[in-house]
């Protein structure tokens, strides 16, 4: 198996950071294809917590290259801060697509205004992600490659940014700040900006292994998620091609990451959502507070219709099941297997946010586990596999890197043992 892709199947925060870290042991490069500093990927190497927002967690293994693909929107100050938390040699292993777009202060400023003034705010991370993608698709964005062009930052950028600030109605001082930020970026990371699409093709031709990661989750996909309560990019496997310039036909295995329950941050439909003390207990047990914003996450049971939808959309080969440890000690695990609307049973996910609101979940009790290990969890895993037709290849049993069970095909090939 040469190339693998890891995607989130829920509303983000599935624990992709840890799964990427586990799978990264035997690859040559880890590649991110969309999103920006809205993501927060956490890895515990024993008890030390590492949080990365742009750079794939695979960088924490020595010797691995980390690629930030063209589908990303990059916030320079955050990226520089992130690089500073890494070992000194890491910078020379980070490659940033010249085609990735830059998130600048006017993006955050206009997003704060939009969210404050909206009758139905999205509950975004306020990192300027949506406005940066709007500039990209409006064909007026600033790209990483522009910043390293001689003369662009010094001679052209401020006028371009002032024009945007005026059009958006945000203070023009954001333009001057943007210029300073781009200068710092050029100084710190300019040498790492390159044609990453070409780099990936060369690595493929040399027989090197690539691990792709989507940020957020499928239910937040701009096209296929619970629109309009979604992010502004394509976290599903389908985003890999346009987000990297690497052919999706070359991917050998797609792993979808799902928690054993669900969470969501921000507004929008969440059919299996819990309330009251049950929700509080689950949130506390799972430490469900946003990595990027610190917001308490909404919690709910595993939602099989939503999971089936994500499984089909991503054409998955296997699941990575995470946070099983949080549910240890229960005789049974509640799982949502369908919904009812006015007494009618629905077994698939309705299309629109309006239709998704106010569904009554149908809850089944699946076998629980008293200790979190492969044997005790087998009945639950088998139930999940038969409900979806997809095998579990990775089981995460705790937050540390070492707390993981790896099944076929990763274990069978001796790649990760
Ligand atoms: P944005 O990506 O900041 O525009 O936020 C849009 C929606 O996606 C909001 O509901 C956010 O809470 C959610 N979101 C964005 N990034 C993440 C993430 O990494 N984890 C979970 N939710 C996210």
Average pLDDT over residues 97-123: 97
pTM summary value: 0.95
Q: 43-99, pLDDT tens digit by residue?
A: 888 888 888 999 998 899 989 999 999 999 999 999 999 999 999 999 999 999 999
Which of 3, 13, 53, 317 is flagged as catalytic?
13
Atom 15 (ligand 1) nearest CA:
38
Nearest to 230 by CA among 133, 337, 135: 133
Atom 20 of ligand 1, nearest CA residue? 12
| DSSP summary character for residue 374 | H
Q: Is the CB of 123 under 6 A from ligand 1?
A: yes
Residue 233, preceding peptide bond in cis (omega within 30° of 0): no
- pLDDT for 48: 86
Nearest CA, atom 2, ligand 1? 231
Work out the average pLDDT over 369-384: 96
Dump pLDDT digits (tens) for 394-412. Answer: 999 998 888 999 999 998 5
Is there an atom of ligand 1 within 6 Å of 266 CB? yes
Strand partners, 364: 335
Measured CA to CA, the distance from residue 230 to residue 72 in angstroms comes to: 16
Of the pLDDT bands very low, low, confident and very high (cuts 50, 70, 90), residue 415 is: very low
In terms of Cβ atoms closer than 10 Å to its own Cβ (0-12, 13-18, 19+), residue 331 is exposed
């Amino acid at each position: 198996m040469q190339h693998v892709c890891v995607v989130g199947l829920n509303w983000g925060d599935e624990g992709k950071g840890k799964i990427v870290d586990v799978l990264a042991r035997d690859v040559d490069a880890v590649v991110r294809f969309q999103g920006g500093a809205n993501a927060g990927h956490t890895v515990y190497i024993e008890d030390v917590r590492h949080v990365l927002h742009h750079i794939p967690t695979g960088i924490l293994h020595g010797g691995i290259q980390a690629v930030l693909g063209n589908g990303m929107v990059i916030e320079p100050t955050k990226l520089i801060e992130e690089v500073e938390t890494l070992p000194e040699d890491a910078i020379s292993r980070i490659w940033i697509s010249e085609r990735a777009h830059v998130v600048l202060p006017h993006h955050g400023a206009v997003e704060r205004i939009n969210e404050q003034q909206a009758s139905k705010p999205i509950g975004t991370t306020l990192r300027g992600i949506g406005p940066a993608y709007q500039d990209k698709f409006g064909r007026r964005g600033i790209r990483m490659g522009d910043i390293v062009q001689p003369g662009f930052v010094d001679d052209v950028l401020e006028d371009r940014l002032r024009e945007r600030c005026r059009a958006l109605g945000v203070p023009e001082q954001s333009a001057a700040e943007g210029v300073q930020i781009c200068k710092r970026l050029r100084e710190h990371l300019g040498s790492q900006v390159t044609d990453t699409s070409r780099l990936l093709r060369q690595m493929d031709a040399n027989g090197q292994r690539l691990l792709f990661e989507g940020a957020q989750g499928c239910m937040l996909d701009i096209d296929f998620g619970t629109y309009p309560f979604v992010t502004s990019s394509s976290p599903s496997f389908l985003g890999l091609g346009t987000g990297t310039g690497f052919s999706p036909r070359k991917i050998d295995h797609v792993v979808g990451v799902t928690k054993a329950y669900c969470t969501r941050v921000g507004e929008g439909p969440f059919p299996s959502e819990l309330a009251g003390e049950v929700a509080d207990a689950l949130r506390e047990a799972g430490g469900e507070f946003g990595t990027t914003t610190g917001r308490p996450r909404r919690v709910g049971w595993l939602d099989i219709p939503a999971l089936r939808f994500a499984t089909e959309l991503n054409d998955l080969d296997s699941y990575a099941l995470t946070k099983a440890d949080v549910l240890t000690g229960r005789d049974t695990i509640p799982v949502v297997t369908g919904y009812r609307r006015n007494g009618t049973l629905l077994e698939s996910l309705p299309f629109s946010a309006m239709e998704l609101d106010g569904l009554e979940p149908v809850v089944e009790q699946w076998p629980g586990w008293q200790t979190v290990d492969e044997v005790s969890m087998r009945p639950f895993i088998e139930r999940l596999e038969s409900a979806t037709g997809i095998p579990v290849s990775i089981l995460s049993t705790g937050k540390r890197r070492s707390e993981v069970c790896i099944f076929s095909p990763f274990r069978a090939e001796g790649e990760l043992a």
